[in-house]
Structure 1
């Protein structure tokens, strides 16, 4: 199956990104035709004022993907802005997408409320779902891996496809289906959403010393005062990390010993740090073996492959719009 997904290059990746996205991508790449892209134009929809070096951040993002286990021999890795057909199709789709569809999008309303500290009342932010639709249908995606909260965006994509076909009488695009993925939602070290802006994240690039420095001050069961007091792992943030990252034997041990008061929070955190280090160590090793020239070659090859496919789709789309013809 053709699978298309992207990630915005807004900074270093953390454990939440790995569990929420990359772990799934790694699994999907083995049995599917996967296209994963650096969504640098999407980054501008909310971060246009941040003066980000998107070219450098995009390259670092691809490095992190490969270090995490994404295989460039199995997948097509490319940069959105390097394939101008994304912008071309975005323009065409904007011409036919009713404004009400975008304004009623629940994700749009939620993000406006959550990001009041930023000026995002822009055309680019409002039409974010249209660019997303272009990203997906340009490559004739069968499936798009998303969480439950992203379903409205994908439904807009399908509605745009149906409207295009109705208006121009040509079946140019596939209607993509959602691939709903259950992902471990790892909270930040302060209990809020894990984010670099909250300074509560463990990054994939963190060394063992950095992991421990962050983890040792993480919240635990506030009702547990002394080491041998019985604890409640169900209200402990560190136990959430154990469940997501530790072996089953460690999880079971921590669960039993915490409730019995036979393991202290310090030792529990040490075990958690070891689990995180075991996950990150091979990533660090793979990243040290990646030189800039090799990563550039991966991106250039992916850009070329993506552009060839995108150009073929745009030829059909333009013929449908400007010639009212389906013969390609």
Structure 2
């Protein structure tokens, strides 16, 4: 790690003594370098996963754009969610693949800050967008007659833009606060990308306020949308159970189950990572959990939304024969 020494000048008026501060120029992402014999094997697995994520989410975006029957608010939100998933993995996976290939995890101070900031922004946006998607299902099932009027195209765009806008301030502030700390314990980040928990472990001095701010903001970003989702689905389930026909119940449950599976996959692993007690610190487990919600969940999402959805599977059957005919 390269270091630069910053010397505070002497001030006779205030009698400030000379202090040497060590500011890191770069960090080292440890990642999976502790198992170098498997680095090409891991490189192949993660490259395959990355290609599957790009292909799967890309197909979802494509068919929802070209298929007329999928031009509805629900698929508009699914399209935006798939786009976010591509951005989500592209922030971390290409960097991890490069580190596995070179076995060098050097990352500059500013690149680390940028990676963490964008990762947090996209993750927070996904949380709010999942809440928006739950609201969409609530209106569709609980107020079907007013659904086209309420969920018009203008409101849908505003909800997506709003999800981005709400998600930006807190991650930016967190990134500024964390990278304003002094890092004196080590320059090695025991992770495969720059994230809040491993960086706080390297900070020196009293970081209690920073830890509390992270905890409270995580509660705000994760818990508030999750509670909104629970409220929406409690109303949805109550409405579904009161439907007169079994066919109507089955169809309603089918359209909601995919979204619920994605919600629990994403929120479950992310909540354990950021809200677990400080006493529970198993770095290997933390890496596995991060792998789950940063790589495996984006792999599952296209499968969940396509295989469990008759409209999407029907569009896929129409799309691929047309593509092959071209």
TM-score (norm 2): 0.24
TM-score (norm 1): 0.24
Larger helix proportion of the pair: 2
